[in-house]
Amino acid sequence: MKTEIYEVDPFTSRKEKLIITIESDYRFERQDEIFISGAAPMKVRVINVMVRLVGGKMERELLVMKL
């Protein structure tokens, strides 16, 4: 399933920038902690998971906060 991970503002929980888009079947839940490696590695906590149906395919959006 296509999964987009967005960073949120820590004070307002408003969606800000797209961190990464991945293809994953993992069932993400609130309070999951994820380590994202790459040019700027970071550890984040999932604060919201939204699933939507687009053209018969499921897509997921995670809102995460940096730790």
Q: Which domain holds residue 41?
A: 2-66
Asked if 47 and 29 touch (Cβ cutoff 8 Å), the reply is no
Summarised one tens digit per residue, pLDDT across range 31-58 is 999 999 978 899 999 999 999 998 999 9
Q: What secondary structure letter does DSSP report for 40?
A: S
pLDDT of residue 24: 93
pTM equals: 0.89
Split into its structural domains, the chain has a count of 1
Own/partner contacts of 14-21, CB < 8 Å, gap of 24 or more, are 15/63, 19/44, 19/64
Asked if 58 and 1 touch (Cβ cutoff 8 Å), the reply is yes
